[in-house]
């Protein structure tokens, strides 16, 4: 029997998001089950231990320390825990795996973090086990009442900006997931859920469970490959019946693709999704210049769908000190795709435009005002504004009263909205 200390580095995740389904050390939980089932002892820790936990960890005396990693630009946090546990247990073997470890050259990871071994890619044996959810303490803002499932790994497409085909080079698809379901809320971490040749069988299973109220909702974290939704009414309707909420599709290509994107959205709205609950992933700070991104944003406004903006970072980027409110940041702070004309102002302005537009979509209004959002306007003026029917009247009133305003259908590059 060996003893394994499984470590999730202290990633910069706001405390309120810990254990939110976006941030659960799911890889470690699967590894924990695999190791336990094979007669080993495991202990999960998150970050460096405080003095109280350190006593317990020291008593545990691990033979190996397995550390996971996430985004490459969070490598620093991996290094910190490697160094920390190396200091506490100089004789234990320290292994680093996960996303950063898989995207960066092994030698570089070893040199930078100081670990003994690097593990790249998925761990096929661990993949056969249910994540050990019992290792997560439930006294937190997000009790684990949901589960993360992979119905497939890998993706057959090869988008240039995407790391999944390096992390998970083989496309492996399950034909059933029924036996894995233990909670009523299901989050899929598949890279391309719809590409699974057995997707209809899997959806059929979920539909039956939903009808029996054994599941409440499903979500696909990575979004759907919308190309597979075009003119596929059946698939759209199955997703809806299976309880998939907030469907996300991606529009990473040029503006000229808008007709195809519109068809994808139609499949979803015909299936019963309301436009404001549909999200379009859009990569920016990438090859498409800001003026074209603004055209894409405005198209989404016409469709009244929300945008999930994804700021591009190269797959080997090892730092990201982007600060949304700081002016004058440069490539020394975070990656700026200058080749396509992006600069710090444009990156931040585009992000702001998307945020303001999403608020308009969600609230069903056609003017965004930062002053109103920050409650800087007197209740009497707010009341007056609310009574006004036409947008022109509202704008005139806002101008006269020096209330900031922004309208979604206007491309905005340099004005602070």
- For 94, phi then psi, to 5°, come to -105, 120
Q: Which residues bind ligand SF4 (CB under 6 A)?
A: 155, 157-159, 162, 164-165, 191-192, 225
Identify whether the C-beta of residue 82 lies closer than 8 Å to the C-beta of residue 115: yes
Contacted entry of ligand B12, ligand SF4, none for residue 72, CB cut-off 5 to 8 Å set by kind: ligand B12
Helices 258-270 and 233-241: angle between axes, nearest 10 degrees: 50
| Closest separation in Å from C-beta 265 to ligand B12 | 21
One of 45, 57, 70, 282 touching ligand B12 (CB under 6 A): 70
Verify binding: residue 43, ligand B12, rule CB under 6 A.
no
Closer residue to ligand B12 in complex, CB, 124/272: 124
Q: Which of 42, 167, 202, 398 binds ligand B12 (CB under 6 A)?
A: 167
Decide if residue 47 touches ligand B12 (CB under 6 A).
Answer: no
Q: Tell the smallest beta-carbon distance from residue 327 to ligand B12 (Å).
A: 21
CA 235/CA 233 separation, integer angstroms: 6
Q: Which does 27 bind (CB under 5 to 8 A by kind): ligand B12, ligand SF4, none?
A: ligand B12
Residue count (the chain): 417
Q: How far is the CB of 207 from ligand B12 (least distance, A)?
A: 24
Contact 147, 58 (CB under 8 A): no
- For ligand B12, give the closer residue by CB, 271 or 293: 293
Of 24, 41, 4, 166, whose CA–CA distance to 101 is shortest?
Answer: 166
Stretch in the footprint of ligand B12 (CB under 6 A) among 22-30, 288-296, 338-346, 363-371:
22-30
Report yes or no: 60 and 31 within 8 Å, Cβ to Cβ. no
Q: Which of residues 388-417 bind ligand B12 (CB under 6 A)?
A: none
With CB under 5 to 8 Å by kind, the binding choice for 344 among ligand B12, ligand SF4, none is none
127 binds ligand B12 (CB under 6 A): yes
**Shortest CA distance to 168 belongs to which of 157, 179, 177, 178?**
157
The DSSP-derived string for 168-182 is S-S-EE-S--GGG--
Cα 222–Cα 223–Cα 228 angle in degrees, nearest 5: 125
Q: How far is the CB of 123 from ligand SF4 (least distance, A)?
A: 20
Could you tell which of ligand SF4, ligand B12, none binds residue 165, using a CB distance below 5 to 8 A set by kind? ligand SF4
Q: For residues 309 and 157, what is the distance between their CA atoms, to the nearest angstrom?
A: 21
- Reading phi first (left if > 0) and then psi (alpha if -120 to 50, else beta), residue 61 is in left
Contact in structure between 187 and 151 (CB atoms under 8 Å): no
- 21 touches 80 (CB < 8 A): no
Query: From the list ligand SF4, ligand B12, none, which binds 84 (C-beta under 5 to 8 Å, kind-based)?
Result: none
The residues binding ligand B12 (CB under 6 A) are 22-23, 26-27, 30-31, 66-68, 70-72, 95-99, 103, 119, 122-123, 126-127, 162-164, 167-168, 189, 191, 221-222, 310-311, 313, 315, 317
């Amino acid at each position: 029997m060996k003893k394994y200390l499984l470590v999730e580095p202290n990633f910069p995740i706001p405390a309120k998001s810990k254990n939110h389904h976006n941030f659960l050390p799911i890889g470690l939980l699967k590894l924990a089950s695999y190791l336990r089932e094979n007669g080993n002892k495991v202990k999960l820790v998150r970050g460096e231990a405080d003095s109280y936990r350190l006593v317990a960890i020291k008593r545990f005396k691990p033979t190996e320390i397995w550390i996971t990693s996430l985004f490459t630009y969070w490598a620093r946090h991996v290094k910190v825990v490697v160094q920390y546990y190396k200091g506490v247990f100089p004789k234990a073997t320290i292994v680093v795996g996960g996303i950063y470890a898989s995207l960066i050259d092994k030698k570089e990871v070893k040199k930078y973090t100081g670990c003994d071994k690097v593990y790249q890619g998925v761990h096929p044996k661990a993949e056969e086990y249910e994540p050990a959810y019992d290792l997560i303490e439930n006294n937190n803002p997000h009790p684990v009442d949901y589960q993360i499932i992979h119905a497939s790994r890998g993706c057959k497409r090869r988008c240039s900006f995407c790391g999944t085909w390096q992390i998970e080079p083989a496309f492996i698809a399950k034909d059933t997931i029924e036996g894995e379901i233990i909670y009523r809320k299901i989050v899929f971490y598949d890279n391309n859920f719809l590409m699974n040749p057995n997707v209809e069988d899997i959806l059929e299973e979920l539909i039956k469970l939903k009808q029996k109220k054994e599941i409440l909702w499903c979500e696909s974290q990575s979004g759907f490959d919308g190309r597979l939704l075009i003119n596929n009414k059946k698939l759209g309707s199955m997703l809806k019946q299976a309880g998939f909420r907030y469907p996300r599709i991606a529009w990473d290509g040029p503006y000229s693709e808008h007709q195809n994107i519109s068809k994808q959205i139609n499949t979803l709205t015909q299936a019963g999704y309301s436009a404001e609950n549909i999200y379009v992933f859009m990569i920016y700070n990438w090859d498409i210049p800001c003026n074209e991104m603004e055209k894409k944003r405005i198209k989404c406004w016409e469709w009244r769908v929300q945008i999930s903006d994804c700021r591009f970072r190269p797959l080997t980027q090892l730092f990201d000190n982007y600060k949304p409110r700081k002016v004058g940041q440069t490539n020394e702070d975070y990656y700026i795709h200058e080749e396509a004309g992006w600069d710090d102002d444009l990156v931040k302005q585009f992000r702001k435009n998307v945020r303001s537009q999403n608020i308009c979509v969600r609230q069903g209004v056609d003017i965004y005002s930062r002053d109103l959002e920050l409650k800087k306007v007197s209740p009497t003026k707010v009341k007056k504004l609310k009574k006004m029917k036409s947008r022109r009247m509202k704008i005139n009133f806002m101008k006269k009263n020096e209330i900031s305003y922004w309208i979604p259908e206007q491309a905005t590059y340099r004005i602070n909205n």
